[in-house]
Structure 1
Amino acid sequence: MRHQLIIVFFFIGLSTLNAQIESKQDTLYVQNKESKGLITPLIAYVEKTAFQYLESSNDKTSAIKGFDFSIMGGPYYSNETKVGMGLIASGLYRLSGCSEDMAPSSVSLFSNITTVGAYSFGVKGTTFFPEMRYWINANVSFSDTPLRYWGVGYNAGSKEDYSTYNNMQKNIEVDFFKKIGKYSALGITSNAMEVTGLNFSDTNILGGESRKSTGVGVGLMLSYDSRDFIPNPYKGMYAMMSNTYYSGLLGSTHNFNRTDLIFRYYKQLRKGSILAFDLDSTLNTGSIDWGTMALVGNPNQMRGYYQGRYRDKKLIDSQVELRQHVYKRSGVVVWAGAGNVFSKFSTFHLCQTLPTYGTGYRFELKERVNFRLDYGRGKGESAFYININEAF
């Protein structure tokens, strides 16, 4: 068994941060109006350390011979959460009977903690069975994070008034898939979650709703995936439809149905130039509380918005991104998109559409695996994102 310990100091050399930073497993999200720093030392260090890690973790033979274990960690900082440390311990393996050319199964333990008490931990993994006829995805997590809450709906998010609170969330997801075609699969999904809002600075903003809710649901998933390389596709298409019903008979505090739809398309315009398209929607019907609604803004969709500032029963968003290789390991991207939150289709208004646009830098850690730095702008706000792999 081989051990590695890599500490990636993303923010050494950054001089000014008037920001909020959230650590989301392998993502650093910076909500900011402006940020200054030294990017060159960061890239040099990432190239030296993270590149070595990715090279070894992609070694297929080591995964076949046993359990290939490695550890990654790194500090982060924000004005609200102060200094924090994140840690990911991951392992690659193959079940008996799985061939060498199959993708390895994986499991990851993750955790982070800050000096003001925000923390999260959990485990996630994917297990592939021989010939990839079946596979299982599992994710178990717990988090306690200081956040802001504006209320439900477009009008609430457009206001400046918000309440601070602590979002405590427990989540268990298990999905079982069966391959039904060359690119398609049918799956059964299950989810149990508990969301609790603590220490609201203004409880009136909840409008009488309970600060705690539980959702337990089961459903079906159908997917089609012809992408040539999932972390950074040059061509192909990905489509997914998931429908999950949360019932009081299973332990939910509310009865509601959630439908998620995803469509992504990739086309290589010429060597080094990729056009990527993304369309996502989350459609909830029935009785749903403030803590389990569809949220605008994350490191992958609607970049530039504080996650959850705009929330409602339904969300539709889309983006187009041009990815251009520039020189050696460097590349740039530009994107533009839009999204809309609404309670029902009869209340959908084009004038309430939220824009998103931005640009980013890419540094190739290894072939088709990129370190990314994005700056996104939304309606009256903006954000920086630091991550590995493309947004979608």
Structure 2
Amino acid sequence: MKSRCLLISVFFFLSLYAKILAQEDSTKVTIPEETPDSIRKKSFLKKLVDYFGDANKNKKNKGFDFSVIGGPHYSSDTKLGLGLVAAGLYRMDRKDTVMSPSNVSLYGDVATSGFYLLGIRGNNLFPKDHFRLVYNLYFFSFPGNFWGIGYENGRNDDNKSSFKRLQNQIKVDFLIRLANNLYLGPNISFDYVAGKDFSNPDLLEGGPESTKNVGAGVALVYDSRDFLTNAFRGFYLKAEQRSYPSFLGNKYAFSRTDVIADYYHPVWKGGIVAMDFHTQLNYGDVPWTMLAPLGGSYRMRGYYEGRYRDNNLVEFQVELRQNIWRRSGATFWVGAGNVFKNFKRFDWSHTLPNYGIGYRWEFKKRVNVRLDLGFGKGEKGFMFNINEAF
């Protein structure tokens, strides 16, 4: 979620980073006599530089290591705005420095277009990693675009229509460790999407403008990653089955199967290859608000999220992540995705290409701020977010 199309000001980011590097490399010099106001101003800047300069250092004695960064951005969708991202690392057992720490991220944004977003997501690891609580909660309001349902509607530029969208989501997994790196547990979800002022309501194909969906299911996870927010090696496999039955108050009853398979491997000094496969399969009476959407800030980056949507989705991406110098890094990725109504109607010619480049700055230890520029078929988009895309 979807902190979509956020482009942080390059001037803001690079100037701040230059100050940090200057602070790290500078030698002691004699400070000329200055006025009290000037001294206070320099003192504030020094505090700011020290804040970001120390953000990625290990703080073993700190119970909760939390830092914040933000800045202006502009995109064709959200217009001029101000974005905020934050990251926190902590351990429920502070004596255990071997196990990967728990993490929490806060993300928010407000823009002149009327877009606003606030969310929180994280992974809480209990002592000895016997249990895991994985959560994502957000709400946003967005004057968005809608192309209809299916590949053919999505590829038709003339279908682009406007509507106002308010969305809230709560998703929680509680995982129990069965064996080394293997987890199983229940999950619940709540999705509320309120759409209004559709400029072309015929594209809904008779579907509702707004829906409320409550789901429950089970997830099986194998996770051998060395670090949750920025893995250098290991596997992550997740198979999830969730149902939205009528007895939970759903007007539209359907089921969903979701599978993720990720692999991380170092290839040379500072270089990591990361691969991600994802499929989402929906069957039953699925409203348009819960169809599988292609695009966004995590997969098929550069495509407008939801321009292509249907019952089923398959997507794959491979990314090279390279540390360049100190806390700076770069990425390059290629990928492909396909949306389809059912397997009988799957068409290889409908496969959409994807590629892009990105800049990384280590905001906290193994926690990156990322700035991505993604390209798709006739589309491109900027994304500013925290943590790797996968």
Take 1:43 and 1:381, find their aligned partners in 2: how far apart are those partners?
30
- 1:87-106 alignment to 2 at 5 Å? 87=84, 95=92, 99-101=95-97, 102-105=99-102
The aligned counterpart of 1:41 is 15
1:29 equivalenced with 2:26 (yes/no): no
SS in 2 for 1:249: helix
The aligned counterpart of 2:344 is 346
Deviation at 1:86, TM superposition (A): 3.9
- What amino acid is aligned across from residue 18 of structure 2 in structure 1? A
* 2:128 aligns with one of 131, 136, 142: 131
The aligned counterpart of 1:240 is 238
1:146 equivalenced with 2:143 (yes/no): yes
Deviation at 1:29, TM superposition (A): 3.1
The aligned counterpart of 2:52 is 51
Deviation at 1:361, TM superposition (A): 2.9
* 1:120 aligns with one of 111, 117, 140: 117
* 1:361 aligns with one of 359, 362, 377: 359
The aligned counterpart of 2:40 is none
CA shift in 2, pair 1:105/1:373, >3 Å:
closer
Take 2:109 and 2:216, find their aligned partners in 1: how far apart are those partners?
29
The answer on whether the counterparts of 1:183 and 1:224 sit within 8 Å (CA) in structure 2 is yes
- What amino acid is aligned across from residue 29 of structure 1 in structure 2? L
The answer on whether the counterparts of 2:100 and 2:227 sit within 8 Å (CA) in structure 1 is no
SS in 1 for 2:74: strand
Deviation at 1:206, TM superposition (A): 1.4
The answer on whether the counterparts of 1:76 and 1:83 sit within 8 Å (CA) in structure 2 is yes
The answer on whether the counterparts of 2:255 and 2:282 sit within 8 Å (CA) in structure 1 is yes
Take 2:76 and 2:354, find their aligned partners in 1: how far apart are those partners?
25
The aligned counterpart of 1:286 is 284
TM-score after normalising by structure 1: 0.82
The aligned counterpart of 2:301 is 303
Take 2:362 and 2:338, find their aligned partners in 1: how far apart are those partners?
33
Take 1:387 and 1:240, find their aligned partners in 2: how far apart are those partners?
23
Take 1:328 and 1:129, find their aligned partners in 2: how far apart are those partners?
32
CA shift in 2, pair 1:40/1:103, >3 Å:
closer
Deviation at 1:280, TM superposition (A): 0.6
Q: Which runs of 5+ in 2 are unaligned?
A: 22-48
SS in 2 for 1:62: coil
CA shift in 2, pair 1:51/1:321, >3 Å:
same
Q: Which runs of 5+ in 1 are unaligned?
A: 1-22
- 1:1-392 alignment to 2 at 5 Å? 24=2, 29=6, 40-41=14-15, 43-44=17-18, 48=49, 51-52=52-53, 54-55=55-56, 59-63=59-63, 71-78=68-75, 81-87=78-84, 95=92, 99-101=95-97, 102-105=99-102, 110-161=107-158, 162-365=160-363, 367-392=365-390
CA shift in 2, pair 1:178/1:212, >3 Å:
same
Take 1:309 and 1:69, find their aligned partners in 2: how far apart are those partners?
36
Take 1:369 and 1:90, find their aligned partners in 2: how far apart are those partners?
8
TM-score after normalising by structure 2: 0.82
Deviations 1:355-376 (A, max 9, x none): 1112223344455443333222
State how many pairs are aligned. Answer: 361
SS in 2 for 1:155: helix
CA shift in 2, pair 1:45/1:139, >3 Å:
farther
SS in 2 for 1:54: coil
SS in 1 for 2:157: coil
SS in 2 for 1:51: helix
Seq. identity, %: 43
Take 2:272 and 2:319, find their aligned partners in 1: how far apart are those partners?
8
Q: Runs ≥4 in structure 1, deviation > 6 angstroms? A: 35-39
Deviations 1:304-323 (A, max 9, x none): 21111101010000011222
Deviations 1:57-101 (A, max 9, x none): x634221xxx66655443333455444334467766555x66442
The answer on whether the counterparts of 1:166 and 1:197 sit within 8 Å (CA) in structure 2 is yes
SS in 2 for 1:131: helix
CA shift in 2, pair 1:53/1:346, >3 Å:
farther
The answer on whether the counterparts of 1:90 and 1:109 sit within 8 Å (CA) in structure 2 is yes
- What amino acid is aligned across from residue 244 of structure 1 in structure 2? R
More strand by share: 1
Deviation at 1:130, TM superposition (A): 2.5
Q: Which moved more, 1:71-80 or 1:170-179?
A: 71-80
The aligned counterpart of 2:38 is none
The answer on whether the counterparts of 1:50 and 1:365 sit within 8 Å (CA) in structure 2 is no
CA shift in 2, pair 1:151/1:86, >3 Å:
same
Take 1:172 and 1:73, find their aligned partners in 2: how far apart are those partners?
24
Take 1:82 and 1:175, find their aligned partners in 2: how far apart are those partners?
35
The aligned counterpart of 2:25 is none
CA shift in 2, pair 1:306/1:351, >3 Å:
same
Structure of higher CA gyration radius: 2
Deviation at 1:293, TM superposition (A): 0.8
The answer on whether the counterparts of 1:60 and 1:104 sit within 8 Å (CA) in structure 2 is no
- What amino acid is aligned across from residue 238 of structure 2 in structure 1? M
Take 2:14 and 2:71, find their aligned partners in 1: how far apart are those partners?
18
Q: Which moved more, 1:347-356 or 1:126-135?
A: 126-135
Q: Which moved more, 1:134-143 or 1:182-191?
A: 134-143
SS in 2 for 1:117: coil
Take 1:369 and 1:68, find their aligned partners in 2: how far apart are those partners?
12
Deviation at 1:176, TM superposition (A): 1.0
Take 1:132 and 1:168, find their aligned partners in 2: how far apart are those partners?
36
CA shift in 2, pair 1:276/1:93, >3 Å:
closer
Take 1:323 and 1:92, find their aligned partners in 2: how far apart are those partners?
22
